[in-house]
Amino acid sequence: MNDCLFCRIMAGEIPSTKVYEDDFCYAFRDINPQAPVHVLVISKQHVGNLTEAAALPDAALAGILRAIPEIAAREGLGNGYRVVSNCGPDACQSVQHLHFHLLGGRPMADQMA
């Protein structure tokens, strides 16, 4: 997937500020942060979004979900955080590679959108 922005970031072809990596995911700071902490947690294996994530091995899905609270703890988000995964055009997904926005460091609005 040479034309995928997030695959190219993982390959080191495009710079990123890495905060975490394991066998299943890579996490880095969003270039346009919407909160004091805004980390993108992306799957190591390329899939377009959650709709396609059933193609991932169960271990990868579980690994990503386990990594998110680990990253939140490392980022000092003991008071809470929000996780968002935009999926498809109605959600304004702009990068077609499975990713989770991890947002924290301030109180979030009490509505989702």
Considering only CA atoms, which of 94, 103, 45 is closest in space to residue 71? 103
Instruction: Clarify whether 97 is annotated catalytic.
Output: no
> How far is it, in rounded angstroms, from Cα 92 to Cα 86?
7
Do residues 87 and 50 touch, judged by C-beta distance below 8 A?
A: yes
Under the binding rule (CB under 6 A), the answer on residue 32 touching ligand AMP is yes
End-to-end CA distance of the chain: 31
Q: Select the span of 26-34, 51-59, 65-73, 103-111 touching ligand AMP (CB under 6 A).
A: 26-34
30 binds ligand AMP (CB under 6 A): yes
Q: Which residue has the tokens 């942060």?
A: 33
Q: Round to whole Å and give the CA distance between 40 and 37.
A: 10
Nearer to ligand AMP, 43 or 93 (CB): 93
CB atoms within 10 A of CB 15: 9
Per-residue contact string for residues 51-90; x = within reach of ligand AMP by CB under 6 A: -----------------------------------x----
Q: Residues in contact with ligand AMP, total (CB under 6 A)? A: 12
The single residue among 1, 50, 61, 95 that binds ligand AMP, judged by CB under 6 A, is 95
Interacting residue ranges for ligand AMP, rule: CB under 6 A: 5, 14, 16, 30-32, 40, 86, 92-95
